[in-house]
Amino acid sequence: ISSMKNSIFWLPKLSHCNHVSVLSPQICKKDFEGFKKLFHRFLQVKGPSVEWPKINRPPEDSIQPYEKIREKGLPENVANSLNKLVVVKLNGGLGTSMGCKGPKSLISVRNENTFLDLTVQQIEHLNKTYNTDVPLVLMNSFNTDEDTRKILQKYTHHRVKIHTFNQSRYPRINKESLLPVAKDMGLVGESADGWYPPGHGDIYASFYNSGLLEQLIAEGKEYIFVSNIDNLGATVDLHILNHLVSQPNGKRCEFIMEVTDKTRADVKGGTLIQYEGKLRLLEIAQVPKAHVDEFKSVSKFKIFNTNNLWISLAAIKRLQEQNAMDMEIIVNPKTLNGGLNVIQLETAVGAAIKCFDNALGINVPRSRFLPVKTTSDLLLVMSNLYSLEAGSLTMSEKREFPTTPHVKLGSSFTKVQEYLIRFESIPDMLELDHLTVSGDVTFGKNVSLKGTVIIIANHGDRIDIPAGSMLENKIVSGNLRILDH
């Protein structure tokens, strides 16, 4: 208990922000107030945040099929709706899991275009097509802010207004003592590991605290469309936007979560449930251990959250001012480089769904969920499975199946730099169902992959797939070297 008290008393000592010139004392103070609230709640909460017997399936009308929304058609004045919209991209993540330094949004994903390039192209295309003014807002973290701001200069002549604001910065907590690891406010040296951005649920407080929320409301904006910047399927959907703005005032929907059908690859994704009369997001971290298998089953929980969200700006303002934004705490354990075990207290943006009025799920096509988390995902979006137009990727009409192939690249492909060296050109994958590659494997130019292809180079062996090869329902193993001559 004394360590808990110490943890709380520690906060005001650092709230003067003596060591950092880039953060204003006001921002630091708000960060610490936010952390203090989260930490207090963490100390008070005992046991799982849901009681399993109380979980019910959502009522039929609370998750609408996308087709039903689309059937309404579009009004003539699409521009009126678009002028009420702001696109927000969650841009706090680094590309470390793919072996890259700096913001993940600056990784090239298609024809030398980065995630950020594609996003800007999409919004610029909307603004030019409909003669509108849809701004782009990036929620950066202290990890990505500086590099992102530098790159934004290249878009000054594009028809998109770009704003940024920063996620909060919270101290990591020693798992044993529950004391903060950071010794000062610095982000270099010993204290660099002491801080973390507290998950995308922080968007509500940091957006509000930045003053940008107020500014956008004053400009006549009513809704934000929020998504992860690495989800290449998360484009502005005019039918969903029209559904939002065409609701009668008393029934105005304040929050829409796009969900999509779960496959075996999505068993860990959060799902929508009915709980104590409210629509609520259930994440795997909240599930009691005894029920994890049930949660993962595709039969009971059929849909998962894509993290594409449409949210009312006025409602965010109201809930922030009433201190009524309630999100479950996610306790994220980490081990720092020196072996120290710490915890990060985080929240998820979708968890706030229960706080908003007339919240709704829309079951969208899988094409709206195209995240690039690994080089296996990157291979799919770089291939001829997709065509690129105005920043948007669409599945090629030449592909006969609506689903993407299952691709699993081994550890030799984990880092983007290594992955790129191993492909002289991206293979033709239009007729591919499944690809597994393991070990030291390289691909020559103009390789074609069809059906199920498994390529395994054992330890010490190397396989070079010759240029122009066509592999259909093949297993390749052993040692295959193509010598230069």
Which residues does the annotation mark as catalytic?
Answer: 373
Alpha-carbon distance of 330 to 38, in angstroms, equals 10
CA distances from 185 to 8, 180, 192, 389 (A): 16, 12, 9, 44
Alpha-carbon distance of 274 to 252, in angstroms, equals 20
Q: Nearest 5°: phi and psi at 146? A: -65, -50
Q: Running DSSP on this structure, what letter comes out for residue 103?
A: B
Tokens of 51: 């009681």
User: Cα-atom radius of gyration of the chain, to the nearest Å?
Assistant: 24
Half-sphere exposure of 483 (CA within 13 A, CB side): 1
167 labeled binding residue: yes
Alpha-carbon distance of 93 to 387, in angstroms, equals 26
Half-sphere exposure of 77 (CA within 13 A, CB side): 6
Beta bridge partner(s), residue 448: 428, 470
Alpha-carbon distance of 103 to 111, in angstroms, equals 19
Alpha-carbon distance of 241 to 256, in angstroms, equals 10
CB 257 within 8 A of CB 369: no
Of the candidates 62, 84, 65, 61, which has an alpha carbon nearest to the alpha carbon of residue 242?
84
Burial class (CB in 10 A: 0-12, 13-18, 19+), 424: middle
29 labeled binding residue: no
Strands 462-465, 170-171: pairing is unpaired
Q: Is the dihedral of CA 369, 372, 377, 380 positive or negative?
A: positive
Residue 368, C-beta contacts closer than 8 angstroms, at least 6 positions apart:
233, 234, 235, 237, 258, 260, 306, 308
Tokens of 15: 């709230």
Q: Nearest 5°: phi and psi at 212? A: -70, -35
Q: Nearest 5°: phi and psi at 397? A: -65, -20
DSSP 282-328: E-GGGS-GGGHHHHH-TTTS-EEEEEEEEEEHHHHHHHHHTT----P
Beta bridge partner(s), residue 273: 280
Alpha-carbon distance of 141 to 143, in angstroms, equals 5
Beta bridge partner(s), residue 334: 342
Beta bridge partner(s), residue 46: none
DSSP 113-161: EEHHHHHHHHHHHHHHHHT----EEEEE-TTTHHHHHHHHGGGTTSS--
Q: Which residues are annotated as a binding site for substrate?
A: 200
Q: Which residues are annotated as a binding site for UTP?
A: 104, 167, 199, 230, 373
Q: Which residues are annotated as a binding site?
A: 104, 167, 199-200, 230, 373
